[in-house]
Amino acid sequence: MEDYKLTKFNNGLRVLTVASKESLSFQVVVFVNTGFDFENKKENGLSHFLEHLCFKGTEKRRSNFEITKELDSLGGIYNATTSSECTYYWVRLSKEHKEKALDVVSDIYLNSQFPEAELEKEKKVVMEEINMHQDDPKLYVWELWPKLLYGDQPIGRFGLGTKENIKNFSRKDVMNYYRSQYKAKSTLVAISGNFSDKEAIQQVKKYFSSIPLGQGKRKENIKEKQTKPTLLVKEKETGQTHFVLGFRGISLKDKRRYALDLLDAIFDGGMSGMLFQLVREKLGAAYYVRSYIEYFTDHGFWVVNAGVDNSRLEMIIKSILQEWEKLKTSKISSADLNKAKNYIAGRFALSQESVHNRADYLASREILSGKIETPREYLKKIKAVTLGDLKKTAGEIINKRLLNLALIGSIKEKRTLLKILNNY
């Protein structure tokens, strides 16, 4: 599970390889260290828009149809994703077509032409994607949450951008952002599946030989300031209220995250966890409910996300906060801690079963933090967490001063909700 190789070229491009002779497939993922957090207000939505446009034609493959037909004819799967701190493009084919995967994904990454006509058409597509998010309360609540925590900062803005921005983006805007961010030192190529390392490195050198030198602009430092609980409500006639409730958390680099992962495993470790047993089994209050930790390079959060009956919202919020308080004030037993450690080890092993998942995990650590923490290293640190570590971390994170609630639904009375938060 630890077998990988990280190669750094003189131009700064990194290549991570994870080989498996048993695999029937070959995958290449190109990670570039840019995303929503790297945009100024005028650029908001540009990272994601650029990702869409990279599939609209290159010098070699003149249209989206030529790109997709070539991959579909081989039974390939492919896509791209933009997040807060990373954009990535990937292609997976059968092992017989490994060079084709590198050829296509490098062509998309390095040689996209961003034709004017396609740019104008894709604006309509992205606006429909924005409409989809705003029409679906389950999705839209995740637009409210960062806005509540971070306000008018890059991370606080909706990653897809505003419709006004999308309408105003020009080909020049796209090209300027592309040239600024898509550079060798900001890029990592992750290769996984059935191949030889030597051959893979040679082919990356071949297909990425023209990658621009340098490094993309850095993201802005996040500013976090909170002294009391905060609330953000979006009123909308819905059959359920969808909410995100939780605390400002810690970054990917914070040593407390191993203890926090274990606290979350105790709180929401599957169907036997405190949260599921409370909300789903005891109260019968939700179809979906989960706790969720997000670690970014310089900030994070720990939340509960659920969709509940409008009339029971206040009771459910109170109940979840009480359950969190139990985690903070009640004595956690050694048996609870061992169960949580076994839960994490088991889930982690399952998540790493695929060679492609292993490569994605290792590559994401390298591109975000500049250092790979292997699965064995991670689990060793999980195993070392003590009951004292749990108590200390719970006391620092489960804190009224860091508490926030974002929700969307048929909410007429906000004062009661704010009172619940302040009385926590």
Can you list the pairs that 138-142 forms with residues at least 24 positions away whose Cβ atoms lie under 8 Å? 138/242, 138/307, 140/234, 140/242, 140/408, 141/234, 141/242, 141/243, 141/244, 141/305, 141/406, 141/407, 141/408, 142/244
Q: Is the dihedral of CA 135, 140, 144, 147 positive or negative?
A: negative
Phi first, then psi: what are they for 64, rounded to 5°? -60, -40
Distance CA 23, CA 333 (A): 42
Please name the amino acid found at residue 348: F
Locate tokens 């009172």: which residue? 419
DSSP 313-368: HHHHHHHHHHHHHHHHHSPPPHHHHHHHHHHHHHHHHHHTSSHHHHHHHHHHHHHH
Choice among 43, 51, 118, 366 that is catalytic: 51
Residues 6 or more apart from 410 whose CB is under 8 A from it?
235, 236, 237, 238, 241, 310
Both tokens assigned to 137:
């309360």
Could you tell me which residues are beta bridge partners of residue 235?
409
Per DSSP bridges, beta strands 240-248 and 300-309 are antiparallel
Cα→Cα distances 217→153, 189, 235, 370, Å: 16, 19, 38, 16
**How far is CA 72 from its chain centroid?**
27
Distance CA 301, CA 295 (A): 7
Strand blocks (E) in 162-309 = 187-193, 230-235, 240-248, 286-295, 300-309
Per DSSP bridges, beta strands 14-19 and 187-193 are parallel
CA-based max dimension of the chain: 64
CA-nearest of 217, 323, 312, 308 to 264 is 323
Residues 6 or more apart from 270 whose CB is under 8 A from it?
276, 343
Q: Is the dihedral of CA 199, 203, 206, 210 positive or negative?
A: negative
Distance CA 364, CA 371 (A): 10
237 in active site: no
Which residues are the active-site residues? Answer: 51
